[in-house]
Structure 1
Amino acid sequence: MNPGYQQQPPPYPTNDGGGYMPQPGYPPPGGYPPQGGFPPQASGYQQPQSQGNYWDAGQNPGYYGATPPAQPQQGPSGFGGMMGAHAGMSNMMRNVTGGYDSDAEGGNAGNMASFADKAVRRGFIRKVYGILSIQLMITCAIIAIFVFVDSLRIFAIQNRSLYWVAFGLTMVCMIAMACCESVRRKAPTNFIFLGIFTICEGFMMGTLAAHFQADAVLIAAGICAVVTLALTIFAFQTKYDFTTCGGMLCGLTVILMLAGILMIFMPHNKWAMIGYGSAGALIFSMYIVYDTQLMMGGSHKYSIDPEEYIFAALNLYLDIINLFMYILMIIGGSRSD
């Protein structure tokens, strides 16, 4: 052995009970001060545990920052009722507006003649998908903030009223656009109301997504994107006219809304959650095809007035958002105990 060598104490206390005197250049027994809001592993910190698909900061003595919320249930109580109310709101927009034109044999023949022009139709489709892309980017950004910013996430879990405030503002904007033709057709009023609606909708979806783990939200977003793309391609290619199915889809949406309200009073059941989410995802998948064909016009029996590009973009936007949340509900139910 090297006679000048002296064994240095370990960087942290050992379990033999002897301990050691702090040496220059070595950390104190409790470790260095916590970095990034969490103490080091040696000071007793345990990684936050996840229960099912929901993030849990509770029962963690090493957690720093805001007071952790009470241990969450499997999603917010009444989640089905929230989604049922949202589905009803989406259905209301279609029925109140009355923006559908009948086929070329009746109704507004001038608008139908202009919409039959391929140049007009292509310009209308580009405008709708341009608006829709901006809406989805804004919504995704807001949801990401709620999912990845822990302080905001905890606040959203602890304050359920945020959802209903956003829901109320969304309803006001929707009623204004549905009942007042000038609001949804004249610029810049239509873009102002659409922007407010999109921000409120993103805020509302963010407060719901905050109850789910980040990976569940990302998986649901990926599945929703793939399904939406596949259904859009199908709607453009198929010869079957889905625009005649509006009455059936309206009835199914009403049943879905009533079932969601009933789920508020039922005890939590993972299979009920998965079944309800599957039914909602199926209905709004059909709505994506239906609204896409309404936008396309052409040989379909019903189509949308070319001036109603805000209405067409809003319908597709609500279809995609509802599909995303019902897919997230399925993932949440499959991960719950």
Structure 2
Amino acid sequence: MAEYNTIRAGQATAGAVRIDEGLRAHMNKVYGTMSVGLLITALAAWAIAGLSVTSAPTPYQIGADEYLTGLGVALYTTPLKWVVMFAPLAMVFGFGAVLNRISAAGAQIYFYVYASLMGLSLSSIFLVFTGMSIAQTFLVTAIAFASLSLYGYTTKRDISGLGAFLIMGLVGLIVASIVNIFLGSPIVHLAISAIGVLIFAGLTAYDTQRLKMDYIQHAHHGDAEWLGKSAIMGALNLYLDFINLFMFLLQFLGNRE
């Protein structure tokens, strides 16, 4: 009987080791995919912003010796700006439906296309803020994100209860942002930015812990395809947390042109 219990204990230990190794590989894939997506977004935004501005005089001057090119005019002053703005939103809302119909490799390509469109949508920040302040804010965001995500991964405290509260806060934030489009209040804008930083800081830790727990719950089933798609969806969630945290921090740390 003692020998049987020893064998069972050894099997349990071996299973735990496999799950732990698989979890590390899974999270590495999540962070790797998210990092590539962020790189694509940054390069796309920088490239489009560069093509949108020229020093040669045109009818659309935006600063000292800075003018919009034909591409810049099309992107920022015509109805095309609404397409650029809402195309990433449409893709992210459709991600769940698409995920059920395509393979994990297809989902990864879909995510990278989405990251490219997001870069196109965010390119205007290079026309509004200085490049140095954008780089500094990105560095601050990266440090804050890494710290929050590490907390979510390592903490023994169950923070799943924060999920509903954070989602409710996010909905309220969206409503307040829409209302302030018409009000144009700098004070409300500042408050929205401050609350946005807090909400996405919380979501970063919450999403990281949820990814970890989801993997542990499904790892026993050995569903490789589900785990692959789960990694892409996790990368998307953390990517959105990072981008939104960055944009809200930019309102405080960014120096305007």
Q: What TM-score, normalized to structure 1? A: 0.57
Q: CA deviation at 1:311?
A: 0.6
Is 1:322–2:252 an aligned residue pair? no
Q: 1:122 to 1:160 in 2, by over 3 A?
A: farther
2:49–2:123: 8 Å Cα contact kept in structure 1?
Answer: yes
Give 1:306's match in structure 2, choosing from 209, 227, 232.
227
User: CA–CA distance in 2 between the matches of 1:243 and 1:301?
Assistant: 15
1:249–1:287: 8 Å Cα contact kept in structure 2?
Answer: yes
Is 1:239–2:141 an aligned residue pair? no
SS in 2 for 1:265: helix
Q: 1:267 to 1:129 in 2, by over 3 A?
A: closer
Structure 1: which amino acid aligns with 2:179? Answer: L
Q: 1:298 to 1:272 in 2, by over 3 A?
A: closer
The runs of at least 4 consecutive aligned structure 1 residues that moved more than 4 Å come to 146-150, 160-163, 298-303
Give 1:169's match in structure 2, choosing from 82, 87, 93.
87
User: CA–CA distance in 2 between the matches of 1:207 and 1:163?
Assistant: 10
1:179 alignment partner in structure 2? 97
Is there any run of 5+ residues in structure 1 with no aligned partner, and where? 1-112
Q: What TM-score, normalized to structure 2? A: 0.73
1:177–1:183: 8 Å Cα contact kept in structure 2?
Answer: no
Task: Report the structure, 1 or 2, having the larger helix content.
Answer: 2
User: CA–CA distance in 2 between the matches of 1:187 and 1:121?
Assistant: 17
Give 1:131's match in structure 2, choosing from 28, 33, 36.
33
Matched ranges for 1:216-235 at <5 A:
216-235=133-152
Is 1:272–2:188 an aligned residue pair? yes
Give 1:201's match in structure 2, choosing from 105, 111, 118.
118
Percent identity of the aligned residues? 24
Q: CA deviation at 1:302?
A: 11
| Higher gyration radius (CA) | 1
User: CA–CA distance in 2 between the matches of 1:177 and 1:218?
Assistant: 29
Structure 2: which amino acid aligns with 1:289? Answer: A
Structure 2: which amino acid aligns with 1:247? Answer: A
Structure 1: which amino acid aligns with 2:205? Answer: V
Please provide the CA RMSD for this pair. 3.1
Matched ranges for 1:20-35 at <5 A:
none
Q: CA deviation at 1:162?
A: 4.7
2:150–2:205: 8 Å Cα contact kept in structure 1?
Answer: no
Is there any run of 5+ residues in structure 2 with no aligned partner, and where? 1-14, 55-66, 220-225
Count of aligned residue pairs for this structure pair: 219
User: CA–CA distance in 1 between the matches of 2:112 and 2:105?
Assistant: 11
Is 1:281–2:197 an aligned residue pair? yes
User: CA–CA distance in 2 between the matches of 1:121 and 1:236?
Assistant: 11
Q: CA deviation at 1:143?
A: 2.6
SS in 2 for 1:239: coil
User: CA–CA distance in 2 between the matches of 1:330 and 1:208?
Assistant: 14
